[in-house]
């Protein structure tokens, strides 16, 4: 079964094979059938988990996605999650709800909250501490005794991003997670190496289209 995991409140970290997925409030993660994953909830989280048979709903996405949950999808998910286990989903009223849910999932805006990890053993240490900001490229090259060009080739080949771009994506996910946990913008900006709060806000807005406060409201 495919799983739709919706975080009504709090933040969920989802670890998959070579992929990190972050799920803040008012977002949902779609995980196709057969994808092994672990959901970690480190603080109080209010969530809903629904399962879909892709044999009946083949139009659902074939890859992991994080999507925005608009008010309509939120209301429908709540109705589906709270329905009795013996609900007949072929019945007109429930079938209509289900149809709206599938349509809204497919039309939902995708969120940039996925981080692909390279599988090359030379850079595998990056998965060991997901709370610590990865080193700048020249320092990371010194740490693992590899050239900057070698590291750049690994990341471009295995993630589709340069090391610098990958590091920025890591910063975004960690920023969302820290803000969801403690809500302290200045503390988050400092921990992630930004020179000022305004620089951090500009970075965040360039990646998500919204300021941190609006994004997590």
Return the residue matching tokens 């970075």.
Answer: 203
| pLDDT, tens only, 141-176 | 999 999 999 999 999 999 999 999 999 999 999 999
Confidence of residue 216 (pLDDT cuts 50, 70, 90): confident
What distances in angstroms separate CA 95 from CA 32, 103, 178, one per listed residue? 21, 12, 39
Region 188-211: mean pLDDT is 95
Indicate the pLDDT class of residue 65, thresholds 50, 70 and 90: very high
Contact 102, 76 (CB under 8 A): no
Cα separation, 79 vs 89, whole angstroms: 12
- Which pLDDT band holds residue 64 (cuts at 50, 70, 90)? very high
Q: What angle do CA 142, 147, 152 make, to 5 degrees?
A: 110
pLDDT at 178: 92
Note whether 36 and 22 are within 8 A (CB).
no
* CA distance linking residue 118 with residue 19, whole number of Å: 9
The 10 Å Cβ neighbour count of residue 192 is 17
pTM: 0.86
Kindly state the percentage of the chain with pLDDT values over 70.
100
Q: pLDDT at residue 121 above 80?
A: yes
Render pLDDT for 41-57 as a digit per residue (tens, 0 to 9): 877 678 999 999 999 99
Copy the structure tokens of residue 124.
């595998």
Position 190 pLDDT exceeds 90: yes
Are the beta carbons of 155 and 124 closer than 8 angstroms?
no
Listed in sequence order, the residues at least 6 apart from 39 whose beta carbon sits closer than 8 Å to its beta carbon are 5, 12, 13, 14
Across the chain, mean pLDDT equals 92
For the stretch 18-35, pLDDT in tens is: 899 999 988 999 999 999
């Amino acid at each position: 079964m495919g799983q739709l995991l919706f975080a009504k409140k709090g933040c969920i970290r989802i670890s998959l094979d070579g992929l990190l997925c972050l799920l803040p409030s008012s977002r949902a993660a779609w995980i196709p059938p057969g994808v092994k994953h672990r959901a970690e909830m480190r603080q109080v989280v209010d969530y809903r988990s629904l399962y879909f048979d892709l044999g009946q709903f083949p139009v659902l996405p074939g890859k992991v996605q994080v999507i925005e949950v608009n008010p309509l999808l939120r209301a429908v998910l709540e109705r589906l999650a709270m329905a009795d286990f013996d609900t007949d989903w072929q019945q007109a009223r429930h079938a209509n709800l289900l149809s709206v849910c599938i349509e809204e999932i497919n039309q939902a805006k995708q969120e940039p909250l996925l981080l692909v990890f390279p599988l090359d053993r030379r850079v595998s240490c990056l998965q060991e501490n997901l709370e610590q900001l990865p080193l700048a490229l020249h320092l990371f090259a010194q740490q693992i005794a590899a050239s900057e060009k070698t590291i750049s080739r690994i990341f471009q080949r295995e993630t589709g991003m340069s090391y610098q771009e990958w590091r920025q994506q890591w910063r975004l996910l960690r920023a969302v997670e820290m803000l969801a946990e403690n809500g302290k913008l200045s503390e988050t900006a400092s921990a992630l190496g930004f020179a000022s709060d305004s620089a951090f806000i500009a970075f965040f807005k360039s990646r998500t289209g919204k300021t941190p406060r609006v994004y997590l409201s």
